[in-house]
Structure 1
Amino acid sequence: MFWTITILLYVLLAFGIVAKLLINGMRPSKSLAWLLAIFTIPIGGILLYLMVGRNRRKNKLFTLKDDFTKNLPEPPRSKPTENVKQHRNLVNLIYGSCGYPLTCNNSVEILRDGKATFDCIFNALETAKDHIHIQYYIFEDGELAERFFKILETKRKEGVSIRVMYDSVGSFSLDESYKKRLNTIGVEVGQFLPFRLGKFISSLNYRNHRKIVIIDNIIGFTGGINVSDKYLKEDTEIGSWQDTHMKIEGDAVNLLNRIFLTDWYLATEKEVKIPSNTLKKEIQHKIPLQIVPSGPDDDFAVMEQVYFKIINNAKDYLYIVNPYIIPNHAILQSLQTAALSGVDVRLLISATTDYKMVDWCVRSYFESYLKSGIKVHLHPDAFIHSKIMVSDDKIASIGTANLDNRSLQQNYETNAIIYHEALSIQVKEQFLKDCESAIRLSDFDAYHKRSKRKKLLEGAAKLLSPML
């Protein structure tokens, strides 16, 4: 009798999920894959769906976000310069998808690797007068964390209000004593989607992958670098970590702060109202840029749309640096279409990643790239963690979003789109310099003849690409 009731309940739950799949309108291939998992893997199929298969755009868990953002003032929109008008469709796409406008009154400094980035961040923190906002996916104990603590302790004594937020999964190793020390000196600490009974299954797969630092609404930082000593010390297995970050001054900083305050409200349910500051000095080099936030509770897959649009708009060249290029069908088709149309498409990837399964999955697409004329460069001496896309000496994207399903569909991410020739050329030249020390895969026939063992491992890993 017990087992009969259990089986009946399981079947009813399974059919309930089937109905939900049909109502939510997932892609047919994806729906069929979940149906197969649910009915062939007892219990495990349903648990897997609840953790990674639910459509957050149809089932918003964070109604708090809508409640908070509708009370925020509409961010001001800059009038496009002549150089930006050629990108008006992309500018409109971003604004239409997430409501974040073009800003033109900005200065931008591109920072490379950990030491230069953190030296710049710590120098900027020393200037704080009113508030400091810090948000990282990974915040680990170590030398960098201690340097942060000492500066924050000093600024708190000066009366600066400080808020620090981290992702509960990315920063899982952060010692509780460090958090208590922050609280002791008066720093407010927020944890994004902590492990809690009842919400564990529904939220485990949705992480906050952003890296943002705000000083007084005047200086902002974002990019790919986390608070981890691996950026200062070479990893014995994969070498030094190479990454790219940005220092921004100007109107765009208000938008970075808007992202932080929204996430802070989601994490703590505390509303913080900080007036927009007017810079005391005029920005000399007015860089047009657009901040792009994306997350699983948005109405559209914003970051996927932006990457897709940049790829399709490329006329001369498209260069991509990214550690985890695991494209979905739309992104893969757009990359292949660009290459087959005569666009110089190049990918710079590490020869090995920090996760073996991900490494196999990334490599499973190489054959498709080479067949369509996409050039693949493998860097042997460092782990490339930058997330960069640059095209035609006109536009560059730098931020936190990888080219995989997790970043495009499941994580909270932030990129900055720069509409500026000189900075785009700077990014391009660094890309070409890095490619000089990389190994280029160019022979499709030779790569196709790799061992069956490698093909088997890559094929198996590819099956898991929606979850990687």
Structure 2
Amino acid sequence: MWTSILLGIYILITVSIVIAIVLHGARPSKSLAWLLAIFAIPVGGIILYLLLGRNRRKNKLVQLKRNLFAKLPKPNGDQINAFEGKYRKLMTLFYNNSHFPPVGNNDLQLLKDGKSTFDAIFKALEEAQKEIHIQYYIFEEGELADRLLLLFKRKLDLGVKIRLIYDGIGSFSLSKAYLKKLMEMGVEVYPFLPFKFGRFFSSLNYRNHRKIIVVDGRTAFTGGINISDKYLKGDPALGKWHDMHVKVVGPAANHLNQVFMMDWYLVCQDLLEPLENPIGISKIKNDSLVQIVSGESDDDFPALEQTYFSIVNTAKKYVYITNPYIIPTQALIKALQTAALSGVDVRLMVSENADNRLVSWAVHSYFESFLKSGIKIYLFPDGFLHSKIIVSDDAISSIGTANLDDRSFEQNYEVNAIVYEKEFAELLKKDFLKDSSTSKMLSYGEYKERSYIKKLKEGIGKIFSPLF
């Protein structure tokens, strides 16, 4: 009897999932793969699908964001109509996806690696007068975390509000003792989708990968650097961690603050009121513009994938990409190859040393086809390269948290700053060329002759890449 009941429940669940895949599957190839897994691996296929396969753009598990966004400040019609110039279409696309217009009058500071980044961050935090907002995917205990405790205590004593979001999985090692210290001194702290048995299937695969600090709604930081001592001391296995961050002072900082406010609403349903006198949205200019693009797993469209795709497609002279996890979608593969075959100088830089072998195999699995189309690939040999940078045509660049992979496009909460400024683009280009001069440039002729074992590893990595 019990066997029949369990079998009936299993069949009901299976049929329900199959119908959901047929109705809401994002891509035919992916839908077919999940259908095969469900029928070929009884029980196990269903568990994998519940963990990794559901399409949140149809099954919107997080609706609170839309309630909040309706209450946030919006640009007026004149500002939207001011989109013009070479990148007008890109500005419009990014605005329609993330609802942030490009804004001028921003003071930008490019920060490379841990020391310069944390020096700038702690200086800005010390100058806070009203509020500090901090959000990180990885928040690890150590010297940096201890310094933050001391700083938080001083600022709280002066009446500064401090709010902190950490990712429930990325910061899983954060101890209860440390969190207790934060809360006891008055820091408002919440996890994003913490690891809980009752929410295991609905939350495990959807992480908040953003790194944001906003001070008084005026000064903000974002990029690839997490709160971790490895950015100062290095990693025993990988050596020094290299990464990029950007400091933004101006209206774009307020937009990063709005991203934080939306996530704050998600974690605790507390609707924050913007500060009375933050730097407001200025009249859009044609030169120093910054546009914030945020991507969430429950958005209607993959905002960050469309961002990278559009920058590559718009490139006329060159597009240089630095990213540790280049596991592109078919659309991005075609965009990169089409650009290279059209005469655009397309260059990719990835770390020669990897923090995950299986992921590294997946990244390398695309190299042969990239090289064949004329894309130049550089392996950075010193430590681990973690930056997420795109720069094109000495005119447009992107710096932020999103990798070039399905997880950043479809599952994670990410944020990038798009900069329409020649000087900033030239800084990134100069840095790319400097790093490439000390990196190993791959040759198509040599790479296609790699060993059969290496090709087999790459194939295995590519098969499992949707799980990363």
Normalising by structure 1, we get a TM-score of 0.96
**CA contact under 8 A between 1:218 and 1:277: conserved in structure 2?**
no
CA RMSD of aligned residues (A): 1.9
Q: How does 1:27-426 map to 2 (within 5 A)?
A: 27-75=27-75, 79=79, 85-275=85-275, 277-279=277-279, 287-426=288-427
**CA contact under 8 A between 1:78 and 1:104: conserved in structure 2?**
no
- Say which is worse superposed, 66-75 or 88-97, in terms of deviation: 66-75
**Percent identity for Structure 1 against Structure 2:** 53
State the Cα distance separating 1:287 from its structure 2 match.
2.3
**CA contact under 8 A between 1:218 and 1:279: conserved in structure 2?**
yes
- The number of residue pairs the alignment matches comes to 466
Aligned-partner Cα distance in 1 for 2:106–2:272: 24
State the Cα distance separating 1:368 from its structure 2 match.
1.0
2:362 corresponds to which letter in structure 1? C
Structure 2 CA distance for partners of 1:286 and 1:220, relative to 1, 3 Å: farther
State the Cα distance separating 1:5 from its structure 2 match.
2.5
- Say which is worse superposed, 3-12 or 91-100, in terms of deviation: 3-12
**CA contact under 8 A between 2:139 and 2:227: conserved in structure 1?**
yes
Aligned-partner Cα distance in 1 for 2:140–2:23: 42
For structure 2, the 5+ residue unaligned runs are none
| 3-state SS of paired residue (1:103) | coil
Aligned-partner Cα distance in 1 for 2:291–2:195: 33
Structure 2 CA distance for partners of 1:115 and 1:81, relative to 1, 3 Å: farther
**CA contact under 8 A between 2:83 and 2:91: conserved in structure 1?**
no
| Structure 1 equivalent of residue 8 of structure 2 | 8
| 3-state SS of paired residue (2:247) | strand
Question: What CA deviation, in whole Å up to 9, does each residue of 1:72-109 have, x standing for no partner?
Answer: 22145785999961100000001112211111121111
| 3-state SS of paired residue (2:326) | coil
Aligned-partner Cα distance in 1 for 2:397–2:346: 14
Aligned-partner Cα distance in 2 for 1:183–1:274: 23
Structure 2 CA distance for partners of 1:207 and 1:185, relative to 1, 3 Å: same
State the Cα distance separating 1:13 from its structure 2 match.
1.2
Structure 2 CA distance for partners of 1:111 and 1:84, relative to 1, 3 Å: farther
Aligned-partner Cα distance in 2 for 1:289–1:349: 26
**CA contact under 8 A between 2:398 and 2:416: conserved in structure 1?**
yes
| 3-state SS of paired residue (1:66) | helix
Aligned-partner Cα distance in 2 for 1:82–1:297: 29
Question: What CA deviation, in whole Å up to 9, does each residue of 1:213-258 have, x standing for no partner?
Answer: 0110111111110000000012232221000001001111111110
**CA contact under 8 A between 1:370 and 1:376: conserved in structure 2?**
yes
Structure 2 CA distance for partners of 1:83 and 1:29, relative to 1, 3 Å: closer
| 3-state SS of paired residue (1:292) | strand
Structure 2 CA distance for partners of 1:279 and 1:12, relative to 1, 3 Å: closer
Aligned-partner Cα distance in 2 for 1:279–1:407: 30
**CA contact under 8 A between 1:134 and 1:164: conserved in structure 2?**
yes
Aligned-partner Cα distance in 2 for 1:76–1:227: 37
Over 3 Å off, 4+ runs = 75-84, 282-286
State the Cα distance separating 1:177 from its structure 2 match.
0.8
